[in-house]
Amino acid sequence: MRLFASAFLALAATLLTVPAFAAPPGAPLYAPNTPRKSPEFTITDPAGKQILISAYKGKVLVLPFMFTTCPHCQHEAQLLTKLQTEFASKGLVVLGTVFNDANGPMAAQFVKEFGIGFPVGWASRDSVISYLSIPVMDRWVVPQIAVLDRKGNIVAQSLSTGTPELQDETYLRNLFDKLVKEPATGSAPAAVKKAAPAAATKTN
């Protein structure tokens, strides 16, 4: 029975961390409720301090939601580390969340082990799913990525089944370059157009 339970948990973890593949032509690029005003979300840092994402209004905020055990999440975090270095001076902030029953020490170890250059905290699985507005019965994968503009609007968010463009360096660079040039005040959010075509490749 113990062996069966271990095998089941391993299979479940694998199903949640499969790579995202490009959707068929004409299929939605982002989650169906994008763009929208971002609700508040709280991340607990490894020291136990609570961080409110509303504190970053006026910045372009990138929120990767990850499992510490997911190779695609590890790759995404390293990619975002590189891009944050490039865009930090222009007002871009990356703030990571691990949520596979994670805690402070797990978040700290994730940063140390994979050389992550941005803060990573943790949150409950239920709070992440609620923030992303993923229906309870939907199948979903990690990483899940949300990108907020300077006004606090979610202008890009992974489909529950994954959006490969949000794991592609060229696409993300073009998207970030567009968003950091926008003002922090203005009209209601408009749907973000595809920043650039991205090759349909697996993440490593």
Model's pTM, two decimal places?
Answer: 0.82
Cα dist. 92→99, 131, 133, 134, 137 in Å? Answer: 23, 21, 24, 25, 33
**Given this model, what pLDDT does residue 13 score?**
45
Residue 166 tokens read as 């949000």
**Given this model, what pLDDT does residue 202 score?**
39
Identify the structural domains of the chain with CATH numbers, from first to last. 34-180 (3.40.30.10)
- In terms of Cα–Cα distance, which of 183, 185, 143 is closest to 160? 143
> Exposed e or buried b for every residue in 95-105, given b needs 16+ CB within 10 A?
bbbbbbebeee
For tokens 């803060």, the residue is: 119
pLDDT in tens, the chain (204 residues): 443 333 333 444 444 554 555 555 666 899 999 999 999 999 999 999 999 999 999 999 999 999 999 999 999 999 999 999 999 999 999 999 999 999 999 999 999 999 999 999 999 999 999 999 999 899 999 999 999 999 999 999 999 999 999 999 999 999 999 999 999 876 555 555 445 444 433 333
Q: How far apart are CA 1 and CA 40, in angstroms?
A: 42
**Given this model, what pLDDT does residue 22 score?**
53
**Given this model, what pLDDT does residue 186 score?**
62
Q: Count of H helices and E strands in the chain?
A: 5, 9
Cβ atoms < 10 Å from Cβ of 170: 13
